């Protein structure tokens, strides 16, 4: 395993982060896993405790063929994030992939109604989700630059371009898309790339509960939903794409990247792109004001 690529997936206790990490493990990677649920979960949705922990994910990554390393970390605390990257540097000396997935999702996120009638804590997604991705990227970039290659990936959504779950959610997703675009300018020519990925509906513990509560709205979407492991395979393919740098800074639709790399779900199903229904990623203007 000493020649394995090194990854960090933030927010990997469950859901999208867990599935991405398992897929990276299946590709033989050493995967550091961060999140608050070290050995058990305290996260709840609709009165139910969401299953999953870093310890469980680490075991699953290792069973898949990689090496899972769980590191409890609250991404709202900058010092804990600094310590996380210091550990990776001390143990590995490099980092090949950062998947910025950690985010705060309030349990009222998909409730109907305007933003001013929802809890003010909805805006915390701009702390853990947007700011936290910036902080993690600031620590990851020097490690990657030392090795002359790497990928900083942001987990995003069609909600960056259309109304989805309200303004706080949309701002966070649009924000990470812009992070990818502008960080790519600073990293240009270094061998380190960035990308923001619009994922489709996901099959996770959270969406299973949410889908049952809002079956009228989510049943059709979830029928064609992606698994997080599918997106992990897409991210791994992007990391190892010889032409990766030509895509740096772009916001990419994961389902469309999957076609480029010949990736499908385990049963051969090809998740659709929602470009026509929900919109296309924004094209950034080429002007640069230094």
Query: pLDDT grade, residue 221 (50/70/90)?
Result: low
Helix, coil or strand: residue 193: strand
State the average pLDDT over residues 155-180: 98
**So what's the pLDDT on residue 43?**
60
Report the CATH number that the domain containing residue 55 is assigned in CATH. Answer: 3.40.50.720
Rg (C-alpha) for the chain, rounded Å, is 18
Mean pLDDT for all residues in the chain = 92
CB contact at 8 A, 197 and 231: yes
Distance CA 98, CA 266 (A): 24
CB contact at 8 A, 99 and 105: no
**So what's the pLDDT on residue 46?**
55
Q: Does 73 map to a domain?
A: yes
Tell whether the model's pLDDT for residue 257 goes beyond 70: yes
Residue 288: name the closest of 244, 252, 249, 243 by CA.
Answer: 249
Q: Does 289 map to a domain?
A: no
- What's the predicted TM-score (pTM) here? 0.93
Question: Which residue's entry shows tokens 């029928």?
Answer: 223
Question: Which residue's entry shows tokens 């094209």?
Answer: 283
Q: Which of 169, 218, 261, 274 is catalytic?
A: 169
State the sign of the Cα–Cα–Cα–Cα dihedral 111, 273, 29, 133: negative
State the average pLDDT over residues 69-73: 97
DSSP line for 207-261: HHHHHHHTHHHHHHHHHTPBPHHHHHHHHHHHHT-TTGGGGTTEEEEHHHHHHHH
Domain enclosing residue 76, as ranges: 6-278
Query: pLDDT grade, residue 52 (50/70/90)?
Result: confident
- 274 is known as an active-site residue: no
State the average pLDDT over residues 92-110: 94
Number of domains in the chain: 1
Query: pLDDT grade, residue 279 (50/70/90)?
Result: very high
Tell whether the model's pLDDT for residue 165 goes beyond 80: yes
Q: Does 286 map to a domain?
A: no
φ, ψ (nearest 5 deg) of residue 193: -115, 165
Q: Which residues share a beta bridge with 44?
A: 49
């Amino acid at each position: 395993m000493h020649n394995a690529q090194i990854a960090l997936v933030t927010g990997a206790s469950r859901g999208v982060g867990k599935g991405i990490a398992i897929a990276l493990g299946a590709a033989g990677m050493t995967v550091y896993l961060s999140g608050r649920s070290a050995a058990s979960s305290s996260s709840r949705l609709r009165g139910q405790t969401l299953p999953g922990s870093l310890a469980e994910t680490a075991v699953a990554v290792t069973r898949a063929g990689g090496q899972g390393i769980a590191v409890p970390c609250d991404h709202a605390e900058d010092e804990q994030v600094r310590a996380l990257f210091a550990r990776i540097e001390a143990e590995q000396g490099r980092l090949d992939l950062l998947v910025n997935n950690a985010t705060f999702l309030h349990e009222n996120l998909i409730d109907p109604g305007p933003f001013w009638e929802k809890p003010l804590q909805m805006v915390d997604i701009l702390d853990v989700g947007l700011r936290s991705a910036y902080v993690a990227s600031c620590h990851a970039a020097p490690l990657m630059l030392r090795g002359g290659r790497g990928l900083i990936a942001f987990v995003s959504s069609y909600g960056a371009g259309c109304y989805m779950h309200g303004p706080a959610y949309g701002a966070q997703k649009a924000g990470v898309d812009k992070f990818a675009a502008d960080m790519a300018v600073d990293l240009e020519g270094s061998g380190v790339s960035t990308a923001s990925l619009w994922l489709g509906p996901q099959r996770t513990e959270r969406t299973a509960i949410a889908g049952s509560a809002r079956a009228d709205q989510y049943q059709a979407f979830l029928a064609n939903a992606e698994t997080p492991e599918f997106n992990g395979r897409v991210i791994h393919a992007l990391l190892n794409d010889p032409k990766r740098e030509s895509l740096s800074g772009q916001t990419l639709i994961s389902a469309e990247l999957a076609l480029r790399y010949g990736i499908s779900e385990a049963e051969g199903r090809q998740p659709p792109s929602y470009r026509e229904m929900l919109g296309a990623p924004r094209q950034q203007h080429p002007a640069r004001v230094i």
